[in-house]
A = this chain, B = another copy of it.
Amino acid sequence: MFRAQIKVNLKTGVLDPQGEAIKDSLHSMNFNEVNDVKVGKLITLSLEDNDREQLEKRVEQMCERLLTNPVIENYQYELVEVMSK
């Protein structure tokens, strides 16, 4: 079995209202050392055994066709083999 952990973030320059709201809340709680907050998605997929290279292509297809919005988001992923339980 494989596990893909996909980090999806807004591209630089794209407004992040959620991040802004969290920053304001943190400041109102006196966490003034916080300069900036970015909020993204963390998607973890459990995948059937397959050829690693094949799985990497498939994960990239999933990201580009469903899991991310290529216009405003970019993504990174890690693919690790895990022992089946």
Instruction: List residues of chain A with CB under 8 Å of any chain B CB.
Output: 1, 7-9, 22, 25-26, 29, 31-48, 50, 55, 58, 61-62, 65-67
Contacts and interface: CB of A to CB of B under 8 A. Distances in A.
Contacts of A26: 62, 66
Contact of A66 (B1, B9, B22, B50): B22
24 contacts: A1-B35, A8-B42, A22-B67, A26-B62, A29-B62, A29-B65, A31-B58, A31-B61, A33-B47, A33-B50, A33-B55, A33-B58, A34-B48, A34-B62, A35-B46, A35-B47, A37-B43, A37-B45, A38-B43, A39-B41, A40-B42, A41-B41, A41-B42, A42-B42
